[in-house]
Structures are given as C-alpha cells and as structure tokens.
Structure 1
Amino acid sequence: MHRAAVSGSLFRAGNFWKVVPWTLVLCLVFVQPGSAQEKERLARTLSVSGRGVESIPTTLSQVNLGVEVQGKTAAEVQQEAARRSSAVVALLKSRNVDKLQTTGISLNPVYSYTNNVQRITGYAASNTVSFRIATEKAGTLLDEAVKAGASQISGVSFVASDEAIASAQKQALKEATQDARQQADAVFSALGFQAKEVVSIQINNASAPPPPILLQRAEAKGNAGNISITPVVGGEQQVEASVTLQISY
C-alpha cells in the first residue's frame, strides 16, 4: 500500500494563488503475505517419538588381562613384570588379536604395619593390556596367556563387530522412524485430522550400550599346565535408536 503527502508554499501570481510543492514524502507499507497462515501452520503440529531396537550376536570378546609381580626391590619387580608382559604381548601378537593396547603400568610399595608403625616390605608391579578376539578362540587364548606369564584376568565382555553394529544402527533408525509415524497416524485417525508434512526430524540416539562384563578379576594360581580350556560363551547385544518427528496437520 502506498501513501503520498504533498506540502508547499503559496504565492500570488496576478489574480491567482498557486501552491508550489517543496517536499515530497513517500510512505511505503509492506505486508508479508501468508505470515498468519505460516504461524498457524507451525502451531498445528504434533510431536511424536519412535523407538527402534535391533539385537545382534556378540561374536567378539573384549579381554583385559595383565601381569602382577611382587618382590623385595623395585628394580627386580619391575624387570620381572616387564619380562612376563613381553612374553604375553608376543603371544597375543602371534594370535593376531585385534585392538591390542596397554591399559595400565604401575609400580607401588607394599607396606606392613607393626605396633602402628608403617614400613615398606617390598614392591608390587603390574602391566595390563586389552584386546579383542573371536569369542570361540577366547578360552584357549586365555589359558595360553596364563602359561606365558599372565596372572590377572580383570574383565571379559562381549561385543559385536563394528560392521554389524553400524548395520544394526541403520535398521534401528528405520524402525524408530516407522514407529513414530505409526503413532502419529493413530492419533490423527482418532481425532479426525489429516497429516500434511513432516516439519522437523530429530535423531535422539542410535547407539549400542556398553557390553556387560563377564569376569571381574580372576587370579591365576597353581600349575598352569593342568588348567583345562576356559569356556567362554557370547550372547546378544542390543542397538537402540530414537527418532522424534514434528508433523503438521
């Protein structure tokens, strides 16, 4: 819409008065078409969240094991721990384990208390590593690691392969989206409304929970040569996803 105003000065020319314009003021008013309709469209929306869960087999074992040595002096204890750790790591490398890494190295004094007097009686050193291996090979490898010098098994958990988890995440997202849409359709049907379009999509998560731990610290004792093969049996892992849809009607 346009509006103009004219102002000026009067002067006499003969028998006539004339207006001479000296200022031109132009006012422009812009109206945004459809703004009210746009607000109404955004106000008439339904938010609904869907959930998807995929169960996949755990084909890998995540193992944490190590060497712990105690002795009189720090030097001899550290050297013995290093020797045994090197033997264990060499064994693991020869078995082509995956994601092998050192997770801890420690050397600490051992104290005794007599008549409320503290004194150092020796030292304790430990080296720990973690790795992954196919579950069907885990039991045999654990026994071999003990024979090579490992004296701690601090945890065994089961996980699926990275490829299986990635595939399950995509499938869980699809299921979550379908679940959200089905819920929205049920609501619209009950209220007699018609779904128009998806205004926004939010992926809340698509992750696999931490695998459960099978063993919480086991000490290897006795004659390792007489130990039977340790049974290790995997299970299933769940991958979850959640999707939130905002749908106009």
Structure 2
Amino acid sequence: MPTALRSRFLVSALSGAVVTGFLMAQATGLQAQQMPIERSITVSATGTAEAEPDSARITSGVTTEAKTAREALTGNSETMSKVISELKAKGINPKDIQTAAFNVEPVMDYSKDGQPPQLRGYRVTNQVVVYVRVLDKLGEVLDEIVSAGANQIQGLSFVVSKEDTLKDDARKEAIANALRRAKLLAAAAGAEVGNVLQISEETQATGPVTYAPRLAKAEMSVPIEAGTSTLEARVTVTWALK
C-alpha cells in the first residue's frame, strides 16, 4: 500500500475510533443520568433490658513495704499465700483465683530542699482477681479476704453470666426504636420506609463496677447488694426509602 494511502487509512481508522468512543461515553453518561439514585435513611437507636447479676469478681491485693526488696517480697508472699488458702477453704475453686498484677518498686523519700532523693525501702504489690459464683457468699468472701491480710480492694464488679442471651430483648427493642424513628423522619420528608439494606450492632463492655478503699479487718460479714444490671444494645439500621 502506498504511503499516502496508508496514512489516509490510519487517519480514518483513528477518527472512527474517536467517534465510537465519544458515542459510547455519551451513552454511558445518558444511562447514568437515567438510572435512579436509591434513596435511603440510616438511624441509630438503643434498647435496654434488666437482669439480676448471678456472680461477681473481686480484685484485691496485698501491699507490703520493707527496707529490702527480699524482706518486702517475703512478707508479701506470706500474706498472699494466707489469703489464697483462706479463699480455697471458703469454697472458692482454684481456677476462679487468678493473679492480676505483681510489682516490686523502690520507695523514695524526696526532700523539699533540693537534695537528691533517698531510698527508703521497697514496696511489693500482689493483686488477684477472685470469681465468686455464689452471690450469697460474697460478703463472707470479702470479710475473709480482709481478715486474711489483704489490705487493698481495688474493685468489685457484678456479672450476668448469660448476658448475651438476656441482651436479645434489648436488641429487639433497639430495632423497634430505630424503625419508629425512621418512619417518623421519612414521613416528615414525604417518603416511606422500604426494605432493610444494612444492620450493624455496636458492642461494648457492660456491667456496674463499684470501687472500695483500703479496708481494715471487718467485725462482721460485709453487707453487699447486687441490685440489677442494665444491659444495653445499640444498633444502626439503613432502610431504602419509597
């Protein structure tokens, strides 16, 4: 094929490709304009359910100070061993007693006149978490812990063992609340709620926690009221609008 003819053929082919591409782009743009945009509404809501705790967790510990780290460790270990032995004697299963923290640190005296701090001794802290499965024994267990030598009660939390199942009522209430709000908002905008497009649930730790200060040896069983726990479920739901 002559060079001039070949050039005219290439130009014609390229021009045809450009026109074809332009027409396809126009068709795609027209199709996008004709496709309706799906309207939707997204609402978040919560639901609650009441449940009675059936167990508890106690975080307690022993803190000991002495001139040397060895003396502090020995004294702390003796006291903590007594605490654990008393708990087992009280019927607490060994698997329900777990060491939560152990720490050895120097105790310094800081002078106000700008002098370097002086080492006064050492402090050893040993903490355990005790799972009490029978709430009727909770007061006795607290009394036993303190009587055995524990000088710290860092926390007490009540537990609902079947929380996830009992929370189902809260989930149903959350969905119902979300739907009610969605219908209200849609009606105000002149629309109707259609099919569900997406549902998600926010999960979070629940349960009341009460903190207690350092305790002295008790003369009677510690009074404890478990009360009720509020289980909360939060959902986010997206509906199509009609």
Q: What TM-score do the two structures reach when normalised by structure 1?
A: 0.71
Other-structure match for 1:14: none
| Distance in 1 between residues matched to 2:173 and 2:31, nearest whole Å | 36
Percent identity of equivalent pairs = 26
Change (3 A) 1:241 1:196: closer
Matches within 5 A, 1:68-79: 68-79=63-74
| Unmatched segments (≥5 aa) in structure 2 | 6-12
2:64 equivalent to 1:66: no
Judging changes above 3 Å, is the alpha-carbon distance between structure 1 residues 210 and 38 closer, same or farther for their aligned structure 2 residues?
A: farther
Q: Determine whether 1:149 maps to 2:145.
A: no
Using the alignment, how far apart are the partners of 1:127 and 1:236 within structure 2? 31
C-alpha distance after superposition, 1:19-73 (max 9, x if no partner): xxxx9x8969776797556433x1x322233321222222322211111222232
| 2:94 corresponds to 1:102 | no
Work out which of the residue numbers 73, 76, 80 in structure 2 matches 1:81: 76
Figure out how many residues of one structure are paired with residues of the other and give that number. Answer: 218
Alpha-carbon distance in structure 1 between the residues aligned to 2:189 and 2:69:
77
Task: Name whichever structure is richer in helix by fraction.
Answer: 2
Provide the rounded CA distance (Å) in 2 between the counterparts of 1:231 and 1:92.
Answer: 18
Distance 1:209 1:242, change over 3 A: same
In structure 2, the CA distance between the partners of 1:71 and 1:207, relative to structure 1 (3 Å rule), is closer
Q: For the residues of structure 1 that align with 2:192 and 2:110, how far apart are their CA atoms?
A: 79
1:183 maps to: 181
> Quick one: structure 1 residues 35 and 112, their matched pair in 2 at CA, closer, same or farther if it must change by over 3 Å?
closer
Aligned to 1:213: 210
Q: Which residue of 2 aligns with 1:248?
A: 241
For residue 140 of structure 1, report the CA deviation from its aligned partner: 0.2
In structure 1, how many angstroms separate the alpha carbons of the residues matched to 2:96 and 2:222? 22
The structure number with the bigger radius of gyration is 1
Q: Residues 174-200 of structure 1: CA distance to partner in whole angstroms, max 9, x if unpaired?
A: 2221222222233444555343322x2
Deviation for aligned residue 1:228: 0.8
**Contact 2:98–2:130 (CA<8 Å) still a contact in 1?**
yes
Aligned-residue CA RMSD (Å): 3.2
Question: Any gaps of 5 or more consecutive residues in structure 1?
Answer: 1-8, 10-22
| Partner secondary structure for residue 218 of structure 1 | coil
After TM superposition, the structure 1 = structure 2 runs for residues 120-139 of structure 1, keeping only pairs within 5 Å, are: 120-134=119-133, 135-139=135-139
For the Cα contact (< 8 Å) 1:98–1:131, is it kept in 2? no
Take 2:110 and 2:179, find their aligned partners in 1: how far apart are those partners? Answer: 68
Higher strand share: 1
Does the 8 Å contact 2:157/2:209 carry over to 1? Answer: yes
Contact conserved, 2:42 with 2:236, CA < 8 A, in 1? no
Query: What's the secondary structure of 2:167's corresponding residue?
Result: helix
* 2:43 equivalent to 1:52: no
8 Å CA contact 1:173, 1:243 repeated in 2: no
| Alpha-carbon distance, 1:231 to partner | 0.8
